[in-house]
Amino acid sequence: MADDNQKQPQASEHEEELTLTNRQGHPVTDNQNVRTVGNRGPITLENYNFLEKISHFDRERIPERVVHARGAGAHGVFEAYGTAGDEPISKYTRAKLFQEKGKQTPVFVRFSTVVHGNHSPETLRDPRGFATKFYTEDGNWDLVGNNLKIFFIRDPLKFPDMVHAFKPDPVTNVQDMERFFDFLANSPESTHMATFLFSPWGIPANYRQMQGSGVNTYKWVNKDGEAVLIKYHWEPVEQGIQNLTQEQANQVQGLDFNHATVDLYDAIDRGEYPEWELCVQIMSDDYHPELDFDPLDPTKLWPEDQFPFLPVGKMTLNRNPVDYFTEVEQVAFGTGVLVDGLDFSDDKLLQGRTFSYSDTQRHRVGANYQQLPINAPKSNVATNQSGGQMRYEPDTAPKQNPHVNYEPSSLGGLKEAPKAGADHEPHYYDVNLMRQKLDRPNDFAQAGETYRNFEDWERNELVANIAANLAQCADVISDKFIANLQQADTEYAQRVTDELAKIKADPSNKPLHRANKAAKLAQEKGHDAKPY
């Protein structure tokens, strides 16, 4: 028996900092063995630490994002220039984060692929998400966009169908280019986006060396309530822009399929912080009959010669996440998360996204997702909301009467904030409610311009990629898609037609579906093995 005067060993302060506990804060003294009847079992129901550990493990994956599932992220800072081009930015917006030269705002950015799943290769042809959360003094602002400056569709009603067509077949669970091009061919407004996607711009070399765009049209509002239309663009600074051909992407994927996440993490870890300049295009808030497209149409580019890029600030990413799940996976963005001085346009797709994004986050992360540290604003939060799953603190002001969770009240409840400027009150139109597309769809002109503006090697890659994928489609689909290309540019359509005929005439290309070809190759190249 131990000497009564012998002191029991005491944990050092450093050891206490490293002590394993359960979620209740109880120290765990044995993390190797469950409690059993004898050392062979069975186990008993009172194994609290085991039950807590395994039940949490069973729930470690929140529902995967339907789109933008595969992602990487980083923290950083946005520094304002105080100007939009050569003019004071206050002429256009009263948003506080832009007003002072040198003013810094913390940010978190999540890059992503759009269509494919959480562990899909980062070399796949796909738009890339570029979502930025600004933790401003007026609360959060989310600028949610992509690397490409346009989109496939202009009406939110088509979005679920678009994603279904691009996602795996519901029967085979394999992405099928026939389904993909079936949607494109029957949605002529997508011709411009397809021209970008199947060019090298459809596979950025990594996340650091790609552009970003808000895609949709927004508004800026000044102190007098006057508004202008805005397009946002992130332009890489020192690191430049790089894209991959399909062959180069295949080579990268053959080595590893996480290259873009590794590239971003390692660059920041080395102190080579990527930087982007935030530029805006500004247009007066009206119909603009002089244009051959509607400025609210997200399938269109605003011509730079008429609406130049005006730099308004610079973003630097300088800190990697401490924990991927807590920060990159649980971060939640929404196009409706705007601060005073920023506003919505009438862009139908933007207004559809504004409901969808936040509704998705409530389903995916929970009703109180804004209380998570990665999503919580740095400014004070005081709401009259209460309850809901996983709510862990009340949103109350320091002097608020805790008995009053409603407004208005004379008993010490929350009060409305004073206005920072005049309300923006756009004049709406004396028109009928209707279900119609924009009256200047002009679905093909910019697709042709984009094709002609590409360099020779980009056009060659575009034609080869489209033809290779159309070869997997029924004639009715390829004919309809090429008819769309014909309206964009006759040379564009003819080159795809010729390349498609060449692929179909080559016996070595049978079967034409790449997934079937890969399955056949695996069977031919596989080595026999004896059972063990």
User: What residues form the annotated binding site?
Assistant: 357
**Around 463, how many Cα atoms within 13 Å sit in the side-chain half-sphere?**
24
Q: Which residues pair with 76 in a beta bridge?
A: 107, 317
Q: Please, are residues 191 and 488 in contact by the beta-carbon 8 Å criterion?
A: yes
Instruction: Please report where in the chains the tokens 């630097």 appear, as a residue.
Output: 316
Rg (CA), the chain: 27
Annotated catalytic residues are 68, 146
Go through the chain and tell me how many residues it has.
Answer: 532
Q: Please, are residues 301 and 211 in contact by the beta-carbon 8 Å criterion?
A: no
What residues are designated binding site for heme?
357
Give which of 461, 480, 486, 440 is closest to 183, Cα–Cα.
480
Instruction: Please report where in the chains the tokens 């040198």 appear, as a residue.
Output: 102
Contacts of 420 (CB under 8 A, 6+ apart): 94, 223, 340, 341
DSSP string, 485-512: HHHH-HHHHHHHHHHHHHHHH-GGG-S-
Backbone angles phi, psi at 280, to 5 degrees: -125, 150
Give which of 110, 144, 76 is closest to 342, Cα–Cα.
144
Cis peptide before 408 (omega within 30 of 0): yes
Angstrom distance (rounded) from CA 240 to CA 515: 35
Integer angstrom CA distances of residue 282 from 218, 274, 379, 433:
10, 26, 29, 29
Angstrom distance (rounded) from CA 129 to CA 114: 6
Angstrom distance (rounded) from CA 189 to CA 441: 7
3-state secondary structure of 483: helix
